[in-house]
């Protein structure tokens, strides 16, 4: 779907609202970054108008290694500020990888187990990195990987320095992320992208070959992907591409 960012945010929020209204105990996979901010804003508005999240369980895609949940640039902090403070998901239903776990391998295994124990993810929201990453699965990541520790690409650290007072030095070098296999196991995936700086990654992911060099290209193999793009992010696509029609 090619539209303005507002329409994109509304459409994404409506998909999630309908999921929760159909199944109050839905399991949502959530993302951070700039892209989902409008979606989270809409979900808070919907909650103020009665949408009940009390049965919902959430799993976030990723977290920086070494940042505690009260660090202002941690994804736990982001989620609290931009979504959870304004909706009623019970605290015990919120899952975000613990970037300060002593045994990070055990944390990754426990995260996978918790997703399974919750019955799997109904809808996974994801953005896309300039390098085609989903979650923090950087180019080269095997498609079969589950939640694991990653070393962040320099380009990812540079893109995210804006959350660290524009200081590249402060951006952690590693993170914990759901793996590509974890993401692909979600029953539905909602890929959001806006802005012309995402156009090349979007075109490669949707119309290029499926390759670990562009992790988001794996989504072509998922049967239920909804791709929501504003016009700028869609600019690199050939509009008559059947794959895009299929995905949109
Ligand atoms: P952004 O990040 O929404 O801040 O552009 C997306 C991503 O890196 O996956």
Quick: pLDDT tens for 31-75.
999 999 999 999 999 999 999 999 999 999 999 999 999 999 999
Question: Is CATH 3.40.50.1360 the right assignment for the domain spanning 5-229?
Answer: yes
Mean pLDDT of 194-202: 95
pLDDT for the residue 7: 87
As a whole number of angstroms, the distance between CA 32 and CA 21 comes to 23
Share of the chain above pLDDT 70, in %: 95
DSSP strand pairing (123-126 vs 188-193) = parallel
Question: What is the model's pLDDT at position 5?
Answer: 84
- pLDDT confidence bin for 1, thresholds 50/70/90: low
CB of 20 closer than 8 Å to CB of 58: no
Whether 20 and 52 have beta carbons less than 8 Å apart is answered as yes
Query: Is pLDDT of 105 > 90?
Result: yes
Give the residue extent of every domain in the chain.
5-229
Nearest CA to ligand 1 atom 7: 129
> Three-class SS of residue 4?
coil
Sequence-distant contacts of 104-111: CB under 8 A, at least 24 apart:
104/65, 104/149, 104/176, 105/149, 107/176, 108/146, 108/147, 108/148, 108/149, 108/176, 109/147, 111/59, 111/147, 111/176, 111/178
Annotated active-site residue in 107, 138, 148, 230: 138
In 3D space, the residue among 220, 221, 210, 215 whose CA is nearest the CA of residue 244 turns out to be: 220
pLDDT surpassing 60 at residue 244: no
Mean pLDDT of 13-30: 98
Whether the model pTM is above 0.75: yes
Cβ atoms within 10 Å of 81's Cβ, excluding its own: 12
Q: Give residues with Cβ within 8 angstroms of 18, minimum separation 6.
A: none
For the cut 60, the answer to whether the pLDDT of residue 242 exceeds it is no
How far is the C-alpha of 176 from the C-alpha of 107, rounded, in Å? Answer: 9
pLDDT, the chain, mean: 94
230 has catalytic annotation: no
| Pairing label, strands 188-193, 225-230 | parallel
> Confidence band (pLDDT; 50, 70, 90) for 137?
very high
Q: How many CB atoms lie within 10 A of CB 134?
A: 29
Instruction: Dig out the tokens for 120 from the structure.
Output: 């799997």
Separation of CA 244 and ligand 1 centre (Å): 21
222 in active site: no
- CA of 130, closest atom in ligand 1: 8
Q: pLDDT band at residue 2, thresholds of 50, 70 and 90?
A: low
pLDDT in the model for residue 231: 86
122, 133, 148, 160: which one is catalytic?
A: 133
Q: Which residues form ligand 1's pocket by a CB distance below 6 Å? A: 33-35, 127-129, 133
């Amino acid at each position: 779907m090619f539209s303005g960012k507002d329409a994109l945010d509304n459409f994404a929020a409506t998909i999630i609202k309908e999921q929760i209204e159909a199944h109050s105990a839905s399991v949502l996979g959530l993302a951070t970054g700039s892209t989902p901010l409008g979606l989270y804003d809409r979900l808070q508005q919907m909650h103020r108008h009665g949408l009940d999240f009390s049965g919902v369980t959430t799993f976030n895609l990723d977290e920086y290694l070494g940042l505690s949940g009260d660090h202002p640039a941690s994804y736990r902090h982001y989620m609290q500020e931009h979504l959870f403070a304004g909706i009623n998901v019970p605290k015990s239903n919120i899952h975000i990888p613990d970037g300060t776990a002593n045994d990070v391998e055990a944390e990754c295994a426990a995260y996978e187990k918790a997703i399974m124990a919750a019955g799997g993810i109904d809808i996974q929201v994801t953005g896309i990195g300039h390098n085609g990453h989903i979650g923090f699965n950087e180019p080269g990541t095997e498609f079969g990987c589950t939640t694991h520790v990653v070393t962040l690409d320099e380009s990812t650290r540079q893109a995210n320095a804006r959350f660290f007072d524009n200081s590249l030095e402060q951006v952690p070098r590693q993170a914990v992320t759901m793996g590509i296999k974890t993401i692909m196991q979600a029953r539905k995936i909602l890929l959001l992208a806006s802005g012309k700086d995402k156009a090349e990654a979007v075109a490669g992911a949707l119309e290029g070959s499926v390759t670990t060099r562009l992790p988001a290209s794996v989504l072509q193999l998922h049967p239920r992907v909804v791709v929501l793009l504003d016009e700028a992010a869609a600019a690199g696509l050939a509009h008559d591409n059947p794959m895009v029609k299929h995905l949109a």
